[in-house]
Amino acid sequence: MKSVRKKIVSSRSEFISDGLNEEELSADPIDQFEKWMDEAMREDPEMANAVHLATIGPDGRPSGRIVLLRGFDQRGFVFYTNYDSRKGSDLKINNNASMTFFWSKSYRQVRIEGTVFKLPPGESDSYFSSRPRESNISALASRQSRPLENRKILEERVRELENKLKDQTIKRPDNWGGYCLSPLYIEFWQGMTHRLHDRIFYRRENTNTSWTRGRLYP
């Protein structure tokens, strides 16, 4: 049977932007990211912190998924998950990872590459205790990324935990917590007309060296 290739045609009109001027960008990419994130939060407060996280499996193949950025500082970019999930298992073997943000309203993208480390238990405890109780029950009930025969099994497990832990403080499980991606490369991408996009990157050899900055062809 002859296959039929489906053609994807975008209806997006050309995006008008002033582009990126190196003299107006912060010398520190974390400060520049904060400016862009603040603008993105004003435009889309519910999903501006959604980010594509890519890890590398034991077979050398990349694996990606959307997670939520829960904070950032000079150490890097923070997210939380089950340590036994696929991404957690990947990071145990290879702690190299990347993040990609895309904000459609401003037609901006930020690419981040670096190494990932676990947050101290106290930070994970603090974040876990700030979450809705229902979310913490879900964290206990889910064997994240493992095969599930049917949804009823999961729902029954949730009900059992709700009854068992009724009126009790839910403690963070040992296999759940925070990670921080420590950046070695950060790229700011601004969409422009006729695909002549602006790309400015910051790079450093390790966390003890200073950032260098440059421009890339679109």
Element at 100 (helix H, strand E): strand 96-103
Catalytic residue of the set 5, 12, 61, 195: 195
Handedness of CA 113, 117, 122, 127 (dihedral sign): positive
Q: 182 and 114 in contact (C-beta within 8 Å)?
A: yes
Residue type, 30: I
Q: How far apart are CA 103 and CA 48, in angstroms?
A: 7
| 145: region left, alpha or beta (phi > 0 left; psi from -120 to 50 alpha) | left
- 195 as an active site residue: the answer is yes
Distance, CA of 132 to CA of 112 (rounded, Å): 29
Active site residues: 195
